Amino acid sequence: MSDLQHTPFDGLAALYAVGGLSADERTAFETHLEVCLDCVGEVKSLLPVTHGLVHGTPPLDAPAELRARVLGHITSTAPAPRDLSAPAPTLDLFSPNEPDPTALFVKPRRQGPGVLFWLAASLVIAAAGGVGWQMAELDRQVRDLRAALGASTDLAARAETEMEAARAVAAEREAVLAIVTGSGVQQLDLAGQPLSPRASARALWNDAAQMVIIATGLPALPAGDVYQLWFVLPDAPVSAALLEPDLDGDATVRLAVPDIVTLPVVMALTVEPSGGVPAPTGDLYLLGQPTE
């Protein structure tokens, strides 16, 4: 294959592997793949990477009722695996050879003994023992039952809380992405200062005065101190946000620019007492100045 033949497809292997080609581009590139071993090699080397990306997404609890719905639907409507040789099955096709859908639930998974178990156990115990012992045992069973129900309730509440948190994260991520990747985005870079030579940050904002600050390399602070970001106006600095870096010294924060601030403007990051202060008092860690 000559360079001239390869050139139009240079760099497309990565896009092919990540699914970033249009239909026409993909068709053309696949034709090229038939004659270009270099591109075949690159695609083969990158596909494990793109396949691996699916493993990078945090797991999430699905709604509990989804299990019965999904499994019930599949076993009541989808053809069994042994029917694969049958002509093109569809999900709506009913097959009399399907496994009994109820078989799925013969041994349902439980977090702990169910209510019926406890009730049945109580009856057995009552029949077998003396009244006093029976009452004491029943009391114990009731306590256990309440504890089991309480645990189940806690579990459900925790799952709901996790779901809400995940939704909030997704919404925040989308909000940041919308600003960072939106149209008309402007930016100001903040450089590290003598106390933080490896630190840097970038402020990005859109026409709606929504801003994202992305900082990296911030030194860890002693307990009781916090990073505070400032818009340095001619009259006086205005507090923008508090930054809480992670263990790697990275921090991202989204904020609304106050009406009194006309961007671009000098921005600075200082270290202040926990909770922040109305006006900067501490050392300077980052400074960004608009170019003329």
Partner 1 sequence: MLLGTLIETAGATPTGWRTLRTDDRVVDRETVQRMAEGDAEALAAVYDRHIRSVFGLAMRVLQDQGDAEDVVQEVFSQAWTQAKRYDATRGSVVSWLLLMSRSRAIDRLRSRRAKPDSAPLPHDTAVVELPDLALGAEQCVLTAESAAALRAALTVLPLIQRVAIELAYFEGLTQTQIAERLEQPLGTVKTRIRTGLLKLREALEEK
Question: Interface residues for partner 1 in 104-123 (CB under 8 A)?
Answer: 104, 106-107, 109
Between helix 131-181 and helix 115-128 the angle, nearest 10°, is 170
CB nearer to partner 1: give 78 or 261. 78
Site for partner 1 in 124-153 (CB under 8 A): none
Nearest-approach distance from CB 277 to partner 1, in angstroms = 26
Site residues for partner 1, 148-187, by CB under 8 A, read 165-166, 168-170, 172-174, 176-177, 180-181, 183, 185
Q: Quick check: 252 and 176 in contact, CB under 8 A? A: yes
CA distances from 17 to 6, 21, 29, 173 (A): 17, 9, 11, 25
61: contact with partner 1 by CB under 8 A:
yes
3-state SS assignment for residue 83: helix
Task: For partner 1, give the closer residue by CB, 139 or 244.
Answer: 244
- Least distance to partner 1, CB of residue 56, Å: 5
Q: Looking at beta carbons only, is 85 or 291 nearer to partner 1?
A: 85
Question: With CB under 8 A, what is the number of residues at the site for partner 1?
Answer: 85
Give DSSP secondary structure letters for 167-220: HHHHHHHHHHHHHHHSTT-EEEEEEE-TT-TT-EEEEEE-TT-EEEEEEE-PPP
37 contacts partner 1 (rule: CB under 8 A): no
Of 17-25, 130-138, 262-270, 279-287: span binding partner 1 (CB under 8 A):
17-25
Q: Which of residues 75-94 bind partner 1 (CB under 8 A)?
A: 75, 78-84, 89, 91
Q: Are 268 and 188 in contact (CB under 8 A)?
A: no
Cβ proximity to partner 1: between 66 and 120 the closer is: 66
Residues numbered 240 to 279 that lie near partner 1 (CB under 8 A) are: 246, 248, 250-252
**How many other CB atoms are there within 10 angstroms of residue 180's CB atom?**
16
Is residue 62 a contact residue for partner 1 (CB under 8 A)? yes
SS3 10: coil
Where would I find the H helices in 233-291?
A: none
Report the alpha-carbon distance of residue 202 to residue 190 in Å, rounded: 6
Looking at beta carbons only, is 87 or 194 nearer to partner 1? Answer: 87
Task: Find, among 205, 223, 225, the residue nearest to 269 by Cα.
Answer: 225
Q: Which of 2, 4, 56, 96 binds partner 1 (CB under 8 A)?
A: 56
The yes or no reply on residue 238 touching partner 1 (CB under 8 A) is no
Residue in 37, 53, 131, 223 binding partner 1, rule: CB under 8 A: 53
